[in-house]
A and B are shown apart, each in its own frame.
Chain A
Amino acid sequence: GENVEQHPSTLSVQEGDSAVIKCTYSDSASNYFPWYKQELGKGPQLIIDIRSNVGEKKDQRIAVTLNKTAKHFSLHITETQPEDSAVYFCAAHPGGYGNKLVFGAGTILRVKS
């Protein structure tokens, strides 16, 4: 089955700097890669996703890149703000009926002001 590894486990950046979180996956059949942000005491919130037919996707200050050959994908947050502080999860889905979304272990992002 699919296995997703996420690094780093914690990341501290200064306000205004960029943050990058990286994930690798094992199942070459995976074709959908969402990123979730979880704030304290809340449920995971979908912030951006990418499908295997696209190499990069951007939404304001966040972007995701995908390298299918190397089986890794990354989340980039530019101009970080204190409200970006949260736990971020990557995930991968091998597609098809009956398969499941597999999550990475999460990255605690702290933005220092």
Chain B
Amino acid sequence: DTAVSQTPKYLVTQMGNDKSIKCEQNLGHDTMYWYKQDSKKFLKIMFSYNNKELIINETVPNRFSPKSPDKAHLNLHINSLELGDSAVYFCASSPGQGEREQYFGPGTRLTVT
């Protein structure tokens, strides 16, 4: 009965590879997000989708491409991975855009070697 789930939990890969992280929410929410948490625990938004439409696209390298096949899923694809991409990536969802409560997934720890 997990509300926001992500796969995989851990991802270890080499520089230059391409990888994807999947996210699914069963809360019936309209809006989904991707956040990056760096080694100092700082949380920063990367993307936001509302009803499959891209709403927020922060200053993120073009190597990162989100894809939302439907309202319940938001995947993150990363091309040509770099050492600096190592972080924990969190998916979140909320009932709507704007000042609404956000619910986070368990995170995916990405390590690039």
A-side residues, CB < 8 A to B, are: 31-32, 34, 36, 38, 41-46, 49, 51, 87, 89, 93-101, 103, 105-106
Contacts and interface: CB of A to CB of B under 8 A. Distances in A.
Given A98-B55, A100-B48, A100-B56, A32 B99 contact: yes
B33 to A, nearest CB: 8
Contact of A105 (B42, B45, B98): B42
Interface of B: 4, 40-45, 48, 55-56, 58, 90, 92, 97-107
7 contacts: A42-B107, A43-B104, A95-B98, A96-B99, A98-B97, A100-B48, A105-B42
Given A32-B99, A51-B99, A105 B56 contact: no
B101 A46 contact: yes
Contacts of B92: 43
A96 to B, nearest CB: 6
